[in-house]
Amino acid sequence: MRSLIKKGIATAVMTTSLAFGAQAASLKVAYDADPVSLDPHEQLSGATLQMSHLVFDPLIRWNKDHSFEPRLAEKWQRVDDRKVRFHLRKGIKFHSGNPLTAKDVKWTFERLKSSPDFKAVFEPFTYIEVLDDHTFLLVTKEAYPLTLNAATYLFPMDSVYYSGKDEKGQPKDQLKKHGNTFASRNPSGTGPYTVSYRQQGVKVEFRRNENYWDKESKGNVDMITLTPIKENPTRVAALLSGDVDFIFPVPPTDHSRIERNTATDLVTLPGTRIIQLQLNQNRVEAFKDKRVRQAVAYAINNEAIVKRIMRGFATAAGQQGPEGYDGYVEDLAPRYDLKKARQLMKEAGYEKGFRISMIAPNNRYINDEKIAQAVAGMLAKINIKVDLKTMPKAQYWPEFDKRVADIQMIGWHSDTEDSANFTEYLAACPDEETGRGQYNSGGYCNPKVDKLLADANKETNLLLRTKLLQEVEEILYEDAAFIPLHWQNLAWGAKKEVNIADVVNVMNFPYLGDLVIEE
Amino acid sequence: MLLFLARRLIQGLLVMLVISFISFAIQDNLGDPLREMVGQSVSEAERQQLRDELGLNDPFLVQYGRFMAKAVQGDLGTSYFFKEPALDVILGKLPATLELVFGATLLIIVLSIPAGVYCAIHPQSWFSKAILGWSILGISIPVFLTAILLIYVFSIELGWLPSYGRGEVDLIFGSWESGFFNKDGLLHLVLPCISLASIMLPLFIRLIRSEMVEALHTEYVKFAKAKGLKLTRIYYLHALKNTMLPVITVGGVQIGTMVAYTILTESVFQWPGMGFMFLEAVNRVDAPLIVAYLIVVGAIFVIVNTLVDLIYGLINPTVRLAGKSA
Amino acid sequence: MSKATGSLLEIRSLCIEFPSRHGVATAVSNVSFSVEKGEIVGLVGESGAGKSTIGNAVIDLLSPPGRVASGDVLLEGENIANLHGEAIRRIRGRRIGFIFQDPMTSLNPLLTIETQLVETILATLGGTREEALNKSLELMKSVGIPEPELRLKQYPHQFSGGMRQRVVIAIALAGDPELIIADEPTTALDVSIQDQILELIRTLCRERQVGCILVTHDMGVIANVTDRVAVMYKGNLVEMGSTQQILERPQHEYTRSLISAVPRTDVKLKRFPRVEYIEQVQSRSIDVKNHWLGQQDESFAAEHKAENGILLKVDDVNLRFQTQSAFLEKNRRYVKASDHVSFEVREGETFGLVGESGSGKSTIARIIAGLYQPDSGSINYAGTDLTRLSDKQRIPFRRQIQMVFQNPYSSLNPRMSVHDIIAEPIRFHSLARPGRETDGIVADLLDHVGLGAASGVKFPHEFSGGQRQRISIARALATRPRFLICDEPTSALDVSVQAQILNLLKDLQDELGLTMMFISHDLPVIRQMCDRVGVMRYGKLVEVNETETLYASPQHEYTRELLSLMPHLDNLSREGLETEPEREVALA
- In this predicted model, which residue has the larger pLDDT, C294 or A398? A398
Look up the domain containing B98 and give its range: 92-289
Is omega for the bond preceding A249 within 30 degrees of 0, making it cis? yes
pLDDT on residue C320? 83
Contact in structure between C365 and C353 (CB atoms under 8 Å) = yes
Backbone φ, ψ for residue B75 (5° rounding): -110, 110
- Which fold would CATH assign to domain A2-40+170-269+491-514? D-Maltodextrin-Binding Protein; domain 2 (3.40.190)
Total domains in the fold of chain B: 1
Report CB contact under 8 Å: A243, B84: no
Q: State the smallest CA–CA distance between residue A121 and chain B in angstroms.
A: 8
| Residue C273 pLDDT grade (very low, low, confident, very high; cuts 50, 70, 90) | low
> Does residue A486 carry a pLDDT above 90?
yes
Task: Enumerate residues 6+ apart whose C-beta is below 8 A from A263.
Answer: A242, A495, A496
Closest Cβ opposite residue B41 in set A227, A229, A415: A415
pLDDT on residue A252? 86
pLDDT on residue A4? 41
Residue ranges per domain, chain C? 312-554
Per-residue pLDDT of A158-182, as tens digits, reads 999 998 888 888 888 888 877 788 8
Closest Cβ opposite residue C106 in set B220, B233, B315: B220
pLDDT on residue B98? 87
- Which of A292, A388, A414, A406 shows the shortest CA–CA distance to A342? A292
Contact in structure between C14 and C27 (CB atoms under 8 Å) = no
> Does residue A502 carry a pLDDT above 70?
yes
Q: B70 exposed, middle or buried (CB, 10 Å; 0-12, 13-18, 19+)?
A: middle
| Residue A22 pLDDT grade (very low, low, confident, very high; cuts 50, 70, 90) | low
Distance (Å, whole) CA C356 – CA C337: 13
Per-residue pLDDT of C39-89, as tens digits, reads 999 998 877 778 888 888 888 888 778 888 888 888 888 888 888 888 888
Q: Which of B211, B213, B218, B220 to mutate to test the interface with C (most CBs of C within 10 A)?
A: B220
- In this predicted model, which residue has the larger pLDDT, B259 or C295? B259
- Which fold would CATH assign to domain A270-489? Dipeptide-binding Protein; domain 3 (3.10.105)
Cα dist from A129 to A126, A136, A223, C2, whole Å: 10, 5, 37, 130
At A155 the three-state DSSP class reads coil
Per-residue pLDDT of B190-199, as tens digits, reads 888 888 888 8
Closest Cβ opposite residue C108 in set B220, B320, B322: B220
pLDDT on residue C567? 63
Closest Cβ opposite residue B42 in set A117, A201, A227: A117
Q: Which chains touch B (3 or more CB pairs under 8 A)?
A: A, C
Rounded-to-10 torsion of CA A91, A95, A96, A102: -50
Per-residue pLDDT of C343-386, as tens digits, reads 999 988 899 998 887 788 888 888 888 888 888 888 888 888 88
Distance (Å, whole) CA B166 – CA A243: 12
**One-letter-per-residue 3-state SS of A15-57:** HCCCCCCCCCEEEEEEECCCCCCCCCCCCCCHHHHHHHHHHCC
Q: Which of B1, B5, B122, B223 to mutate to test the interface with C (most CBs of C within 10 A)?
A: B223
- In this predicted model, which residue has the larger pLDDT, B75 or A379? A379
pLDDT on residue A484? 93
**Range ranked top by mean pLDDT from A272-286, B77-91, B241-255, C153-167:** A272-286
pLDDT on residue B134? 85
Distance (Å, whole) CA B195 – CA A340: 54
Distance (Å, whole) CA C497 – CA C491: 10
Per-residue b or e along B2-18, where b marks 16 or more CB atoms closer than 10 Å to that residue's CB: ebbeebbeeebeebbee
**Range ranked top by mean pLDDT from A440-444, C23-27, C273-277, C488-492:** A440-444
Report CB contact under 8 Å: B31, A243: no
> Does residue C416 carry a pLDDT above 50?
yes
Average confidence (pLDDT) over C489-501:
75
**Amino acid making up residue C545:** N
Average confidence (pLDDT) over C14-40:
85
pLDDT on residue A346? 92
Closest Cβ opposite residue C61 in set B225, B233, B323: B225
User: From the CB of residue A314, how many other CB atoms can be counted at a distance below 10 Å?
Assistant: 26
Residues in chain B closer than 8 A to A237 (CB atoms): 148, 151-152, 155-156, 163-164
> Does residue C2 carry a pLDDT above 70?
no
pLDDT on residue A477? 93
User: From the CB of residue B25, how many other CB atoms can be counted at a distance below 10 Å?
Assistant: 11
Average confidence (pLDDT) over A200-224:
89
Residues in chain A closer than 8 A to B81 (CB atoms): 36, 178, 200-201
Contact in structure between A319 and A477 (CB atoms under 8 Å) = yes
Contact in structure between A150 and A139 (CB atoms under 8 Å) = no
Distance (Å, whole) CA A246 – CA A255: 14
At A272 the three-state DSSP class reads strand
> Does residue C278 carry a pLDDT above 80?
no
Distance (Å, whole) CA B204 – CA B34: 44
> Does residue A19 carry a pLDDT above 50?
no
Per-residue pLDDT of A240-259, as tens digits, reads 988 899 999 898 888 888 98
Per-residue pLDDT of C216-264, as tens digits, reads 887 778 888 889 999 988 888 888 998 888 888 888 888 887 777 777 6
**One-letter-per-residue 3-state SS of C67-132:** EEEEEEEEECCEECCCCCHHHHHCCECCCEEEECCCHHHHCCCCCCHHHHHHHHHHHHCCCCHHHH
Closest Cβ opposite residue C120 in set B218, B228, B245: B228
User: From the CB of residue C137, how many other CB atoms can be counted at a distance below 10 Å?
Assistant: 16
CATH number of C312-554: 3.40.50.300
| Residue A117 pLDDT grade (very low, low, confident, very high; cuts 50, 70, 90) | confident
At B155 the three-state DSSP class reads helix
DSSP conformation class of B238: I
Q: Which chains touch A (3 or more CB pairs under 8 A)?
A: B
Report CB contact under 8 Å: C92, B317: no
Task: Enumerate residues 6+ apart whose C-beta is below 8 A from C10.
Answer: C32, C33, C34, C35, C72, C73, C74
Contact in structure between A95 and A104 (CB atoms under 8 Å) = no
Q: Out of A13-17, A212-216, B292-296, C324-328, pick the least confident.
A: A13-17
Cα dist from C296 to C96, C149, C286, C302, C350, whole Å: 61, 63, 17, 10, 19
Average confidence (pLDDT) over B146-154:
86
The helix (H) or strand (E) run that includes residue C241 is: strand C236-242
**B:280-319 residues touching chain C, CB 8 A cutoff:** 315-318
User: From the CB of residue A311, how many other CB atoms can be counted at a distance below 10 Å?
Assistant: 15
- In this predicted model, which residue has the larger pLDDT, C266 or C453? C453
- In this predicted model, which residue has the larger pLDDT, A334 or C430? A334
Distance (Å, whole) CA A409 – CA B131: 50
Give the torsion sign (CA, A150, A155, A156, A157): negative
Residues in chain B closer than 8 A to A116 (CB atoms): 38, 42, 46, 50
Q: State the smallest CA–CA distance between residue B95 and chain A in angstroms.
A: 14
Report CB contact under 8 Å: C120, B226: no
**B:168-227 residues touching chain C, CB 8 A cutoff:** 218-220, 222-227
Contact in structure between C323 and C336 (CB atoms under 8 Å) = no
Q: Which chains touch C (3 or more CB pairs under 8 A)?
A: B
Report CB contact under 8 Å: A394, B36: yes
Task: Enumerate residues 6+ apart whose C-beta is below 8 A from B176.
Answer: B95
Closest Cβ opposite residue A234 in set B41, B80, B270: B270
**B:223-242 residues touching chain C, CB 8 A cutoff:** 223-231, 233, 237-238, 241-242
Per-residue pLDDT of A292-306, as tens digits, reads 999 999 999 999 999
What's the mean pLDDT when you consider all of chain C? Answer: 80
Q: State the smallest CA–CA distance between residue A231 and chain B in angstroms.
A: 6
Q: What percent of chain C is predicted at pLDDT more than 70? A: 85
Task: Enumerate residues 6+ apart whose C-beta is below 8 A from C390.
Answer: none
| Residue C288 pLDDT grade (very low, low, confident, very high; cuts 50, 70, 90) | low
Give the torsion sign (CA, B265, B270, B271, B273): positive
Residues in chain B closer than 8 A to A415 (CB atoms): 39-41
Q: Which residues pair with C237 in a beta bridge?
A: C232
pLDDT on residue A12? 42
Give the torsion sign (CA, B282, B284, B286, B289): negative
Contact in structure between C353 and C531 (CB atoms under 8 Å) = no
Residue ranges per domain, chain A? 2-40+170-269+491-514, 60-151, 270-489
Backbone φ, ψ for residue A410 (5° rounding): -150, 145
What's the mean pLDDT when you consider all of chain A? Answer: 87
Distance (Å, whole) CA A518 – CA C110: 67
Q: Please provide the DSSP assignment of C316-384 as one string.
A: EEEEEEEEE--SSGGG-EEEEEEEEEEEEEETT-EEEEE--TTSSHHHHHHHHTTSS--SEEEEEETTE
pLDDT on residue C284? 54
Task: Enumerate residues 6+ apart whose C-beta is below 8 A from A85.
Answer: A76, A77, A78, A79, A131, A135, A136, A137
Q: Out of A325-334, A453-462, B204-213, B311-320, pick the least confident.
A: B311-320
Distance (Å, whole) CA A210 – CA B64: 51
> Does residue A16 carry a pLDDT above 50?
no
> Does residue A372 carry a pLDDT above 90?
yes
Q: Which of A234, A262, A438, A495 to mutate to test the interface with B (most CBs of B within 10 A)?
A: A234
pLDDT on residue A157? 92
Average confidence (pLDDT) over A28-46:
87
How many Cα atoms are found within 13 Å in the side-chain-facing hemisphere of A324?
16
Pairing of strands A73-78, A83-88: antiparallel
User: From the CB of residue B102, how many other CB atoms can be counted at a distance below 10 Å?
Assistant: 15
Q: Strands across the sheet with C236-242, in order?
A: C96-99, C179-183, C211-216, C40-44, C228-233, C236-242
- Which of A113, A60, A105 shows the shortest CA–CA distance to A417? A60
The helix (H) or strand (E) run that includes residue B3 is: helix B2-26
- Which fold would CATH assign to domain A60-151? Dipeptide-binding Protein; domain 1 (3.90.76)
pLDDT on residue A18? 43
Q: Which residues pair with A275 in a beta bridge?
A: A411, A486
Residues in chain C closer than 8 A to B320 (CB atoms): 324
Distance (Å, whole) CA B244 – CA B93: 31
**Amino acid making up residue B199:** I
> Does residue B309 carry a pLDDT above 90?
no
Whether B183 is covered by a domain: the verdict is yes
Q: What percent of chain B is predicted at pLDDT more than 90? A: 1
Q: State the smallest CA–CA distance between residue B267 and chain A in angstroms.
A: 7
pLDDT on residue C207? 87
CATH number of residue B124's parent domain: 1.10.3720.10
pLDDT on residue C499? 78
Per-residue pLDDT of C387-406, as tens digits, reads 888 888 888 888 888 888 87
- Which of C427, C561, C408, C554 shows the shortest CA–CA distance to C487? C408
Per-residue pLDDT of A330-362, as tens digits, reads 889 899 999 999 999 999 999 888 999 999 998
Report CB contact under 8 Å: C326, B323: yes
Q: Do chains C and A touch (3 or more CB pairs under 8 A)?
A: no
Residues in chain C closer than 8 A to B225 (CB atoms): 61, 92
Report CB contact under 8 Å: C119, B316: no
Q: Please provide the DSSP assignment of B86-154 as one string.
A: HHHHHHHHHHHHHHHHHHHHHHHHHHHHHHHHHHHH-TTSHHHHHHHHHHHHHHHS-HHHHHHHHIIII
Contact in structure between C396 and C300 (CB atoms under 8 Å) = yes
| Residue C324 pLDDT grade (very low, low, confident, very high; cuts 50, 70, 90) | low
